[in-house]
Amino acid sequence: MSTIPSDRSPESTLAFLREGYRFVGARCDRLGTDIFQTRLLLEPTICLRGRPAAELFYDTERFVRRGAMPMRAQRTLTGVGGVQGLDGAEHRSRKAMFMSIMTPAAVRHLGQLFDDEWRARIPAWAESGPVVLYDEVGRMLTRAVWAWAGVPLADADVPRRTAEMHAMIEGPAAVGPGHWRGRLGRRRAERWAGEVIERVRSGALPAPEGSALRVVAGYRDEQGMLLPRRIAAVELLNVLRPTVAVDRFVVFAALALHDHPQWCERVRDDDTAAMSFVQEVRRYYPFFPVAAARVRRPFEWQGHAFPQGRRVLLDLYGTNHHPQLWPEPERFRPERFDGWRGDPFGLVPQGGGDHFTGHRCAGEWITIELMKRAVANLTGSMSYRVPPQDLALDLGRMPALPPSGLVLDGVRRTA
Ligand code: HEM
User: Pick from 156, 119, 117, 122: which is nearest to 138 by CA?
Assistant: 117
Residue 134's pLDDT band (cuts 50, 70, 90):
very high
Helix or strand or coil: residue 62? Answer: coil
Sign of CA dihedral 200, 206, 210, 212: negative
Please tell me the distance from the alpha carbon of residue 293 to that of residue 247, in angstroms, as a whole number: 27
Q: Report DSSP state, residue 351.
A: B
Sign of CA dihedral 222, 228, 234, 237: positive
- Give the model's pLDDT for residue 110: 98
Q: Report DSSP state, residue 149.
A: H
- Give the model's pLDDT for residue 415: 84
Pairing type for strands 299-301 and 304-306 reads antiparallel
Q: Is residue 146 part of a domain?
A: yes
Average pLDDT over every residue of 69-92: 96
pLDDT above 90 covers a percentage of the chain that reads 97
**DSSP letter for each residue of 81-123:** SSGGG--HHHHHHHHHHHHHH--HHHHHHHHHHHHHHHHHHHH
Q: Is residue 116 part of a domain?
A: yes
* Atom 6 of ligand 1, nearest CA residue: 350
Residue 1's pLDDT band (cuts 50, 70, 90):
confident
Residue 2's pLDDT band (cuts 50, 70, 90):
confident
Give the range of the structural domain holding residue 173, as residue numbers without chain letter.
12-413
How far is ligand 1, taken at its centre, from the CA of residue 349, in Å?
9
**DSSP letter for each residue of 46-89:** EEE-SHHHHHHHT-TTTEE-TTTS-HHHIIIII-SSSGGG--HH
CB-based pocket (< 6 A), ligand 1: 83-84, 95, 98, 238-239, 242-243, 245-246, 249, 287-288, 291, 316, 349-351, 359, 361-363, 366-367
The lowest-confidence range among 8-12, 244-248, 377-381 is 8-12
Q: Which of 93, 103, 361 to mutate to test the pocket of ligand 1 (most atoms within 8 A of CB)?
A: 361
Q: Is residue 273 part of a domain?
A: yes
* Atom 9 of ligand 1, nearest CA residue: 350
Q: State the closest ligand 1 atom to the C-alpha of 83, by its place in the atom list counted from 1.
A: 40
Please tell me the distance from the alpha carbon of residue 70 to that of residue 299, in angstroms, as a whole number: 23
Residue 175's pLDDT band (cuts 50, 70, 90):
confident
Q: State the closest ligand 1 atom to the C-alpha of 248, by its place in the atom list counted from 1.
A: 1
Q: Is residue 295 part of a domain?
A: yes
Number of domains the chain is built from: 1
How far is ligand 1, taken at its centre, from the CA of residue 287, in Å?
11
Q: State the closest ligand 1 atom to the C-alpha of 98, by its place in the atom list counted from 1.
A: 35
Q: Is residue 303 part of a domain?
A: yes
Q: Is residue 113 part of a domain?
A: yes
User: Pick from 184, 366, 180: which is nearest to 278 by CA?
Assistant: 366
The yes-or-no verdict on residue 102 having pLDDT over 80 is yes
- Give the model's pLDDT for residue 8: 86
Please tell me the distance from the alpha carbon of residue 377 to that of residue 38, in angstroms, as a whole number: 45
- Could you tell me if 116 and 141 are in contact, meaning their C-beta atoms sit under 8 angstroms apart? no
How far is ligand 1, taken at its centre, from the CA of residue 242, in Å?
7
Q: Which of 55, 350, 365 to mutate to test the pocket of ligand 1 (most atoms within 8 A of CB)?
A: 350
Identity of residue 29: D
- Could you tell me if 402 and 312 are in contact, meaning their C-beta atoms sit under 8 angstroms apart? no
Q: Is residue 5 part of a domain?
A: no
Q: Report DSSP state, residue 229.
A: H
Helix axes 271-284, 262-269, angle to 10 degrees: 130
Please tell me the distance from the alpha carbon of residue 47 to that of residue 28, in angstroms, as a whole number: 9
User: Pick from 315, 279, 287: which is nearest to 56 by CA?
Assistant: 315
Q: Is residue 293 part of a domain?
A: yes
Identify whether 307 is preceded by a cis peptide bond (ω within 30 of 0): no
Q: Does 264 appear as a known binding residue?
A: no
CATH number where 364 lies: 1.10.630.10
How far is ligand 1, taken at its centre, from the CA of residue 364, in Å?
7
- Give the model's pLDDT for residue 14: 94
Average pLDDT over every residue of 148-165: 98
How far is ligand 1, taken at its centre, from the CA of residue 125, in Å?
31
How far is ligand 1, taken at its centre, from the CA of residue 360, in Å?
7
Please tell me the distance from the alpha carbon of residue 319 to that of residue 335, in angstroms, as a whole number: 19
Tens-place pLDDT, residues 276-321: 999 999 999 999 999 999 999 999 999 999 999 999 999 999 999 9
- Could you tell me if 249 and 371 are in contact, meaning their C-beta atoms sit under 8 angstroms apart? yes
Average pLDDT over every residue of 239-243: 98
